[in-house]
Amino acid sequence: PFVMGVGGSLDVEAGITLRAPSWCQKLGLEWLYRLLREPTRVKRFSFLPLFALLLGVEWLRNLR
């Protein structure tokens, strides 16, 4: 299976929001810029570590 998170890329491509400044992009902090500009995303961002943990647990179960 292949999974790819596109996050706010669709919003940028649709012209709904602008990309982060180039210095943020170069430092890999575009996610932080977006989080500061759109605080409503905090709830969604907080689920990422939990998702990664659950994904890892499921992966380990399938190894057996």
| 2 domain residue, yes or no | no
Confidence (pLDDT) at 60:
94
pLDDT in tens, 7-42: 788 888 999 989 999 999 999 999 899 889 988 877
| 3 domain residue, yes or no | no
More confident residue, 2 or 12: 12
Sole residue written with tokens 């759109």: 38
| 15 domain residue, yes or no | yes
How many domains would you assign to the chain? 1
Give the residue numbers spanning the domain of 26. Answer: 9-63
| 32 domain residue, yes or no | yes
| 41 domain residue, yes or no | yes
Confidence (pLDDT) at 41:
79
pTM of structure: 0.57
pLDDT in tens, 37-60: 988 877 777 777 888 899 999 999
d(CA 25, CA 34): 11
d(CA 41, CA 3): 20
